[in-house]
Chains A and B, each alone.
Chain A
Amino acid sequence: MSALKDLYKQVVMEHYRKPRHFGDLPDATHAEGGHNPSCGDSLQLMLKMNGETIEGAKFTAKGCAISVASASLMTSMIRGKTVPEALELAEKFSAMMKTGEAAPELGESAALQGVHTLHTRVKCATLGWQTLKVLLERAQREQAEANV
């Protein structure tokens, strides 16, 4: 079996066919769209924030198996986390894509560590995480402004 098929069989197909937390989040407080212009993939991430805490996270996407699976894993992980905790996870995920080494906090997402050798697919795996980063950084700015 090829390495890619192996990766797909293990986690990717499972999360691609049955993505967790897929669909609209009607009581979302924050939303952000992500786009990969090189392949046309797009993703919409919706969060329900309660102060610093991410209470709910859902997404919709038109994308490849790796991007959908990655977003599915991500939304599972960030629920209940605070903004700084979620941002740290995003950093750790990016680091894993660069080095291939998975921090223990990444949990099941570590299944995607093999993507780091597939340079053309790193963008797919990070699309959801990048969108999360943009959204959370914006939320932080808004909060800082509100506190002034």
Chain B
Amino acid sequence: MTFVIFRRAAQDYDGRKMSQNLISLSSPLLAGAAGLAGCRADFPVFRHHPGLVFLDSAASTQKPQQVIDAIAEFYAGGYANIHRGAYRLSAQATDQFEAVRERAAQFFKAPAAESIIFTRNATEAVNLVAYSWGLRNLNAGDVVLVSEMEHHANLVPWHLVTGLRGARVEAVRMTPEGRLDLEDYAQKLQLPNLKLVALQHVSNALGTIHPAKQLVDMAHRHGKPILLDGAQAAPHMPLNLSELGADFYVLSAHKMLGPSGVGLLIAQPQHLRDMPPFLGGGDMIREVYTDRSTYADLPNRFEAGTPAIAEVVGFGAALAYLEGLGMENVHAYESELFQYAQGQLNLIEGVDLYGPESDGEHSERAGVLSFNVRGAHAHDVAGFLDEANICVRAGHHCAQPLMRALDVVSTARASFYVYNTREDVDALARELRDIATFFGENL
């Protein structure tokens, strides 16, 4: 399959159309140099690395001072293990930890706080569902439906578990523009042995925002449970998981200004109640004998061992920070920045962009821009950009099936977040122009 890349001539680039439906385009929020409401100043990395153009937030985001402070204060001012100590310091730490669960429940409008499980990352959250739900519910011949756009984190766990159960994985195709093929999805939902749907909410490689509500409703019309991988969605848009109704939703704290080491599984409580524990150990038990154990209620049943306590507290600060910005504003700001970047890169001769063309009306792209310079390998492009102090990802973005569908070895990927500015985009465009010329001349 060859992939249709989109490319518009400069004169076709319609700034007016771009601004429709972007509520904040003319608002003072979008003062270019300062980032979202000037929040760039909150991120100390940019003081330590003057001139740094950080465009790899889809891999992991930088951290604001508020998050760093929350972790330091927790360690300095009241650290203890949680759920165990019969003393006030432990009780206080437990309260702080559990308060983050409550805050997360409100932030994501989760069905219930007790059905939020802290894991190490979104990958572990998928593995939890794969091993706990999957080992119990999948049998020989059963099917787990993914897409060919999935991140490896939402593919490999299913390969492992279906392998153990004699079940198999099928993939929904993507369209040449880089969207999920909804007709193919509708057809594959009718597979007789389909047991679970596991799809991404936003593509990490192309930035395509999939119609999550529609995906969930279609799965449910066929009576199939659905897991959504929200690792690239949760940081960038307001979520209402109660309304969305997905059976399982996973995300990672480190991609939304929080510390590494914290992921979330947000599930419908009835599923979790029916699921056996995933990891066994301390804190997830009720009674333990030498020959058997009984298990704790939700959510503790799925949180074995000492968790990343300080990091969870830090994640609470990240959520507070994002609440302060407002997720609507975050989404609007990134959309605007994306439109600007898409426009700027489109002007460069010798640069090809991937993913559905977004005119802002459908807002179906998150702040991710995948591209290649003609005649250059993405890795070479990233090397040259690095020399100019610009961080982008180059490679297959842990989405090898997608790269195959695109018929490319790799792409370079610039991804944006709240601290990025038009100046960052301008720096990227300037260097890319230079790189495209260099490789063009040496063709």
Q: Which residues of A are at the interface with B, using a C-beta cutoff of 8 A?
A: 2-5, 8, 13, 17, 38-42, 62-67, 118, 120-121, 124
Are A39 and B395 interface neighbours, CB within 8 A?
yes
The 8 Å CB contact of B383, one of A38, A62, A121, is A121
Are B409 and A41 interface neighbours, CB within 8 A?
yes
B403 at the interface (CB under 8 A from A): yes
User: A40-B395, A41-B409, A62-B409 known; A5 and B383 CB under 8 Å?
Assistant: no
The 8 Å CB contact of A5, one of B378, B384, B396, is B384
Bound-complex Cα distance A39 to B409 (A): 8
Instruction: For the complex formed, measure the closest distance between the CB of A36 and the CB atoms of chain B, giving whole angstroms.
Output: 9
Are A118 and B383 interface neighbours, CB within 8 A?
yes
Instruction: For the complex formed, measure the closest distance between the CB of A63 and the CB atoms of chain B, giving whole angstroms.
Output: 6
The residue on B at minimum CB distance from A17 is B442
Please name the 10 residue pairs, one residue from A and one from B, whose CB atoms are nearest each other, closest first.
Answer: A64-B377, A64-B379, A40-B396, A39-B395, A62-B409, A13-B442, A65-B380, A40-B410, A64-B380, A4-B387
Q: Name the residue in A39, A41, A62, A66 with the highest tally of chain B Cβ atoms < 10 Å from its Cβ.
A: A39
Are A120 and B378 interface neighbours, CB within 8 A?
no
B75: chain A residues at CB < 8 Å are none
B409: chain A residues at CB < 8 Å are 40-42, 62-63
A8: chain B residues at CB < 8 Å are 380, 438, 442
Main secondary structure of the interface of B (DSSP, over half): helix
- Over the window 356-382 of chain B, the binary record of Cβ atoms lying under 8 Å from chain A Cβ atoms (1 yes, 0 no) is 000000000000000000001111101
The 8 Å CB contact of B386, one of A40, A67, A120, is A120
Q: Name the residue in A2, A17, A64, A67 with the highest tally of chain B Cβ atoms < 10 Å from its Cβ.
A: A64
B443 at the interface (CB under 8 A from A): yes
The residue on B at minimum CB distance from A62 is B409
User: A39-B394, A39-B396, A40-B395 known; A2 and B442 CB under 8 Å?
Assistant: no
B400 at the interface (CB under 8 A from A): yes
The 8 Å CB contact of A38, one of B376, B395, B403, is B395
Are B384 and A65 interface neighbours, CB within 8 A?
no
Q: Name the residue in B380, B384, B387 with the highest tally of chain A Cβ atoms < 10 Å from its Cβ.
A: B380
The residue on A at minimum CB distance from B434 is A5
Are B379 and A2 interface neighbours, CB within 8 A?
no
Bound-complex Cα distance A120 to B382 (A): 10
Are A39 and B384 interface neighbours, CB within 8 A?
no
Are A124 and B384 interface neighbours, CB within 8 A?
no
The 8 Å CB contact of A64, one of B378, B400, B442, is B378
A-B contact pairs, 19 of them (CB 8 A): A2-B387, A3-B387, A5-B438, A17-B443, A38-B395, A39-B378, A39-B379, A39-B394, A39-B396, A40-B395, A40-B400, A40-B410, A41-B409, A63-B379, A63-B409, A65-B377, A65-B380, A66-B379, A121-B379
B403: chain A residues at CB < 8 Å are 40
A67: chain B residues at CB < 8 Å are 379
Are B396 and A4 interface neighbours, CB within 8 A?
no
Segment 407-443 of B: residues with Cβ below 8 Å from A = 409-410, 438, 442-443
Bound-complex Cα distance A119 to B379 (A): 13
User: A39-B395, A63-B377 known; A4 and B383 CB under 8 Å?
Assistant: yes
The residue on B at minimum CB distance from A4 is B387
Bound-complex Cα distance A17 to B441 (A): 12
